[in-house]
Chains A and B, each alone.
Chain A
Amino acid sequence: MHILYFAHIRETLGLAEETINCNANTVGLLLAELSQRGALWKEMLEDNTRLQISVNQTLAKRNTRITDSDEIAFFPPVTGG
């Protein structure tokens, strides 16, 4: 699956995007797996109560189901306009 990171999450983790093989079938499980990379990942992702999520460019939640061919993005609350 293809994962994208935006704004201060991208800056803090030092990564704009990556492609991984993952067995997680929900966003929540994916967050748990990514958060195992370290404290900073856990803070930015799993423990981040303001985290916004999209799956295939549609807003999603932690219980949204995902598959290995999906594009998932993690970002802070939006500030356009």
Chain B
Amino acid sequence: MVSVQREDFNIQAEIDALVQGHRGIGAVVSFIGLVRDLHSGESLTNMTLEHYPGMTEKALVEIEAQARIRWELTGVTIIHRVGLLAPCEQIVLVVTASAHRQAAFESAAFIMDYLKSRAPFWKKETLSSGQAQWVDAKETDEQAICRWQNT
């Protein structure tokens, strides 16, 4: 399940929804990304998440599909928030469910690595100084994809 939304999410509710009614689940792994309250030592006032409506959902659906091809998964939930967020707020949730833990752990990492490099979101930070700046993509994010391309 994929969702791009302004509203906050509740991790327990999402886990319950993913697990309920399914048999054979032995492992559930979850990742939450938060708005960090510091940027190079300076306090963050807020963060704006911009996205490409339509393509964002399409990209996340495709990432989930790739994860399901690589691993035997009972369920996947990806939720990414957009709009104006405050420091320490939740940005993204990835939950994976499987019979065993290896698939659940690895697929969650795979989904986050691909989301960071391929899903069309852009972050703009407003710092306490009043300065607003677009976050720069990190080379390490693109490099993180490499570990999945030989497996």
Contact = CB atoms under 8 A, between A and B. Distances in A.
Interface residues of B, number: 27
A59 to B, nearest CB: 7
Interface stretch (A21-29, A36-44, A69-77): A69-77
Contact of A80 (B51, B54, B136): B51
A54 interface: yes
B55 A54 contact: yes
Contacts of B58: 57-58
B52 A80 contact: no
Contact of B122 (A50, A54, A59, A76): A76
Given A6-B120, A7-B122, A54-B120, A79 B135 contact: yes
Interface string B45-66: 0000111101100100000000
A79 B124 CA distance: 9
Contacts of A81: 33, 80, 91-92, 112, 115-116, 119, 121
* Residue from B50, B115, B119, B124 having most chain A Cβ neighbours under 10 A: B50
A6 B52 CA distance: 8
A20 B128 CA distance: 41
Contacts of A58: 55, 58
B118 A78 contact: yes
Nearest to B50: A7
Interface of B: 33, 49-52, 54-55, 58, 80, 91-92, 112, 115-124, 134-137, 142
30 contacts: A4-B52, A6-B120, A7-B124, A8-B122, A50-B137, A54-B55, A57-B54, A59-B118, A73-B52, A75-B120, A76-B134, A77-B136, A78-B117, A78-B119, A78-B137, A79-B121, A79-B122, A79-B134, A79-B137, A80-B49, A80-B51, A80-B80, A80-B115, A80-B120, A80-B123, A81-B33, A81-B80, A81-B92, A81-B112, A81-B116
